[in-house]
Chain A
Amino acid sequence: MFWKKREKRISDEKAERMAAELLGALGADDVTGALPDSASSFAALQKRIAAEAGRPSAVPGLWDTLFSAPRLTVPVMAALALVSVAGFAWSTVNRPPIPDEAAELKPPPILEVKAPVSACALSNKPECTLTTGDVLATMMTVAPKEKRR
């Protein structure tokens, strides 16, 4: 592998000489003589410029997008804002009267711990066995204030 790479190397001198020879050949290759005359070339250029000037840009640029997007969205957003303001105004004017009872705030039912779970509940003995129902019935009950209501 290594020797193959070495084999492909060429000396600096040879490389310089060959590159100069090749690039010199490129320099000697003059195509200007084969080109159309200046007048017809300018006429073709004028047609091309006219075509370019009349052609709308195929792919809109960044600035076009930046300016065209608000142009479309602004009226839509303004219309939506007007509709929502009008809807709000209409709902405040035509709001139904609130009954007095309903105006009162009902306090949420207060849950209170009646008795703590006894140490027996943590025992493994059969007499201490408690069901979930027992625990719930023991721990929580409706507050006396609520009961009175």
Chain B
Amino acid sequence: MRGFLREEQATLEQVSDEALAARFAAGDAHAFERIFERHRPRLARLAGRFFQGPELVEDVVQDIFTKVWFSLNDYRPLDGVPFSAWLARVAVNTCRDRLRYVGRRPETNFGEINESEQMWIRDGLSDGERGSPESSVIARDLVRKLLDRIDPEDRVVLVLLDVEGWSVAEIADANGWSVSKVKVRAHRARLRLRGLLAEWGSS
């Protein structure tokens, strides 16, 4: 029995995402578990680009997979869309919706940019030397605070483009936007980030 299970597990390891989705649609719940195990790290990393703290990231990942569970039957491999692209679409939409929701809540408090972070920006503007571990910790916190001040949709484009390394076409596909819209949003996000750096560097 155990041998059979191990054999089935091994078979599932080799099965493509599209085949797993088809098996799930046919009622095989183990196929969904395999999809979860296979894609969870990638989606957690993606959610971690937008949300801070393991609890929040885990919650967003669970949210993504809950949506996948309820909409996996709608996935049609024959439409020519790879499963990974379809999954990315669900993930990006979930992150974007969550960012919008968080931004709309009146109690949302964007972290204040503290003195050391302002100093970090000023040093950067005056070509100061950096590279210490402390500096990278400051940058890590600062970038999240700055990104919180950018429109959620612009932020999604900026992060996917410049951090995740997606192409403009991939971002357009994941968001259901045109390529031009992605380019405009990327440009706007960069301008905003630059404006924030200028604002905090001079204050």
A52 within 8 A of B: yes
B197 within 8 A of A: yes
How many chain B residues sit at the interface, stated as a range, is: 35 or more
- A-side interface mostly: helix
A82 within 8 A of B: no
A77 within 8 A of B: no
Number of A-B contacts (CB under 8 A): 105
In whole angstroms, how far apart are the Cα atoms of A15 and B199 in the complex? Answer: 12
- B-side interface mostly: helix
Residues of A within 8 A of B121 (CB): 18
A26-48 interface code vs B (CB 8 A; 1 in, 0 out): 11111110111010011011001
Is B54 in contact with A10, judged by CB distance below 8 angstroms?
no
Which of the residues B58, B193, B194 comes within 8 Å of A41, measured between beta carbons?
B58
Which of the residues B37, B44, B61, B198 comes within 8 Å of A8, measured between beta carbons?
B198
Residues of A within 8 A of B (CB): 7-10, 14-15, 17-32, 34-36, 38, 41-42, 44-45, 48-49, 52
**15 residue pairs bridging A and B, Cβ less than 8 Å apart:** A8-B202, A14-B124, A21-B130, A26-B147, A26-B159, A27-B163, A30-B45, A32-B44, A36-B54, A38-B36, A41-B62, A45-B36, A45-B65, A49-B66, A52-B70
Residues of B within 8 A of A (CB): 33, 36-37, 40-41, 44-45, 48-49, 52-54, 57-58, 61-62, 65-66, 69-70, 121, 124-125, 127, 130, 136, 139-140, 142-144, 146-147, 158-159, 162-163, 190, 193-194, 197-199, 201-202
